[in-house]
Structure 1
Amino acid sequence: MTDGVSLVQQGNTLKTDAQKQADEFASSSTTKPRVNARTDIVHLNVGGTRYEVSRSTLMHYEGSMLASLISGKWKEGEGDVEIFIDRNGRRFEWVLDYLRSDRAYVPDLSDQLALKEELDYFGIAVDMSKVSVTDDFVTINELSQEIKVHKATIAQKEKRIAAIKESYRLAGEFADYSENEKLKVRLSVNKDVDTKMLRRCLLSRGLHVLRSGSKESGAPTLYLCVAGQKSKCVTKLTK
């Protein structure tokens, strides 16, 4: 009997422990907040304009209203619930630009002042030298540099086009001479064509430049041969 009572007591104890574990699990699963897969993203509604912003961006200036909003001090900043801020939604985009890069570009001077008001409201210390109007002297310099780069790129492409065209012209003339079984041909070249580019383009036409020269008039010339007969042409040229 004693053994039987002992087994029953052990069984009851196991049931009680199992029930406790089940109750604890159920309690923890209902009281713990839901884990959000995008915990670093904060959903904001600023004056009707919705933003998704990383927490690190909003925390960039410690002590600011935005940093406090998601630091747990305010209930609205908990979880993935959208947070409403009653401010100008368009200007808030500039606020985010300043938070992300410590710089902001606005259309005009009135917007520059408006952005300062927004940054002051959110408690963000602003260096106004880093808030620029887009169409100012800085913009002139930036655009001028871009134009220089584009001009240089265009000029390079124009030189390449000229070299390709000249290589086709020379290949046509070479074909006329090669009918007479000439291994090498001396041809006049357009002086405005880039020589290095022309050499590469002629190789694409199957022609090799043996050497360059000029006529008595000063017009540049090239000695050409078929690329596959280079060794024969070089031998004859040196004799």
Structure 2
Amino acid sequence: MDVGGVIYYDEPFELAWLQGTFDLAVTADPSVTLRDFIEDTERFYLDGKTPAERPGILSSAAADESWVRVRRAWRELAQEIPGSIAAVTALAREMPTTVVANQPPECADVLAEWGLTAVLETVVLDCFEGVAKPDPRLLGIALARLGLPPGELLVVGNRVDHDVAPARSLGCPAVFVLPEDGYRRPPGVHPDLTRAYRALRAVRTVPPGDDVPRVASLADLAASPLARLGAL
């Protein structure tokens, strides 16, 4: 299963990074406006390019420094999606369960603090493995560690491109976790930036077609017959 959007919210980290980047950019260049920054953010999220492939504020030293600060505050920013800790624990008692995610090393610290590392079969993070989603090889590492054929691993995620598509390419069934916005906005994030970010998130987390089962949360999955399809 994924972590961001499934076990904890992605949004607090990203909003803190965006606001921090803007603040640092303005300090370096007072002519930068919030409108400039929001337009750059929209291009960053929608054009499909990596930071190295496109110039802009979110590819700048300010963005790099902001990310360093967010990582330092990872534990404080991490917000459990309601019921996810109990759901992972319950699922892991019944079947082999693992995390497969694009997350920084600090994610592993949060999983350990929340007691999840102790119940998970393994944790597969791109920062440790040298390969990241949407490359299906990251999911393949989990399959190898679990010793399972693809058809017996149920992939649980909140993105079609990063979760559903890699799962299908390997022959794994998938379940899509629907987005919800019950997170607490980090202090100091401008409301206009929050509104623009939420619109961009809605584009990135569009649900798949009706052929992929959907659940409202990991807690709902744990109570559903879908969870009995195989390992997670």
Q: Which has the larger radius of gyration?
A: 1
| TM-score category (smaller protein) | under 0.3
TM-score (ref. length: structure 2): 0.22
Say which structure is richer in strand.
1
